[in-house]
Amino acid sequence: MPSSTSSSDLQGFERSVPGIPWLPTLALVASLTMVLLVGWELAMRNLGLQPGDLDDGRAYWTEERRKLNAGPRDPLVIIGDSRILFDTNLETWKELTGRRPIQLALMGANAEPILHDLASDEHFAGLLVIGTAEFSYFSHDAGSMPDVIEYMNRESPSQRIGHYLYRAASRHLAFLDSNYTLFTLIERHPWRERENVKGPYLDVWKISEAYDGRQTYLWSRLERDAELRRHAEEVWVDIFAGEAVAAELVDEVSARSRAAIERIRARGGEVVWVRPPSAGPILATERARYPRREVWDRLVRDTGSFGVHFEDFPAMRQYEIPDSSHLSRASAVEFTEAYVRELLENVPWLQERHGDDVRNRKVTPLEAHRRAPRAP
């Protein structure tokens, strides 16, 4: 925009200032903005957003990933996609094993690049739990945050400080949520679309809430709001649709995974697989596209790892899955207890490090649920 400048002989430019009382105007603007923000904050809380929900992202992931290098060589680490992320209660893990895992699963992520990153990290010799939705893992695509490792390697000091400031603000302000920005809200209107165009209405909306240490759950409003559940399920059906997975892709992924796992084992680490529950039309699609025998069983067998598949345990089929893809918060606690106990029973690496006294410690799901961190 044009703006006037005038030269003065020794002092360089002198910009002119429009002749209105700027400080009183500024005070008025600040007051009105504050009123609008309070209104916006109340509106967002009314929609189910909560202060303390930390709006998980790559900076939070990086913070957790760095703990691996700073801590002992044999940590418990979880990688995978949104299912293992939402369906795992980290406190339950701690109650059962004495240690809280580092949560490195990411929404919409293919865990394979992260597996290779950890396989290349000579410092890592821990237990790696890979949560697998076949759709995410058997894919040529790195998923929704393909640059997370690059971000970690190049995170600038200002980005890190910005992350800490944003987190501090998020503890008090509900509206600081990337799923509820101005343009996201505009795009959620069901506009009439041009022919053959898939609009942002069918994008993934807010489905999670996250707390310290990346303890993440399915968004509590989703458990209550039938319309949101319907939308989420519609989106999953759309995303998961497709042809049956190619045998070559299964071969390639299994071979690459085996090689990475062998590197971890060579250092004294171990890797296990977990297949969290899904239901309804999503599970039907998954069964059709990724037949268990050719995909899951093959992966577990080829990698020589122990695996927990929810369909092998009748109790795990009974959980509440509001959007057919992720467990409710209460079910996540129960599922965590169930699969961790299976791991304790069957994985020597875990048994060696967590003796009977810890393994047999009884924690009821409800007790763990009560202890789990939640929004203030």
Kindly tell me which residue out of 46, 196, 248, 314 binds another protein, with binding defined by CB under 8 A. 196
Site string (158-177) toward another protein, x via CB under 8 A: xx-xx--xx--x-----xx-
Q: How far is the CB of 56 from another protein (least distance, A)?
A: 14
d(CA 132, CA 134): 6
Residue 19 vs 314, nearer CB to another protein: 19
Kindly tell me which residue out of 195, 227, 356, 357 binds another protein, with binding defined by CB under 8 A. 195
* 13 contributes a contact to another protein by CB under 8 A: yes
d(CA 310, CA 277): 6
Residue 40 vs 313, nearer CB to another protein: 40
Three-state DSSP state, 106: coil
Site string (134-163) toward another protein, x via CB under 8 A: ----------------------xxxx-xx-
Size, binding site for another protein by CB under 8 A:
56
If you search the block for the tokens 């909560």, which residue do you land on?
A: 50
Binding segment toward another protein, per CB under 8 A, in 193-201, 242-250, 319-327, 352-360: 193-201
* 248 contributes a contact to another protein by CB under 8 A: no
- CA angle, 217 then 324 then 235, to 5°: 90
d(CA 97, CA 86): 19
Kindly tell me which residue out of 42, 72, 150, 178 binds another protein, with binding defined by CB under 8 A. 178
β-pair type (208-211, 215-218): antiparallel
Contact between 295 and 132 (Cβ < 8 Å): no
- Residue 132's alpha-carbon distances to 109, 166, 348, 374, in angstroms, are 10, 31, 21, 25
If you search the block for the tokens 């990688």, which residue do you land on?
A: 79
Three-state DSSP state, 14: strand
d(CA 271, CA 77): 9
Q: How far is the CB of 144 from another protein (least distance, A)?
A: 13
Contact residues for another protein (CB under 8 A)?
Answer: 1-5, 10-23, 25-26, 28-29, 32-33, 36-37, 40, 156-159, 161-162, 165-166, 169, 175-176, 178, 181-183, 186-187, 189, 191-200
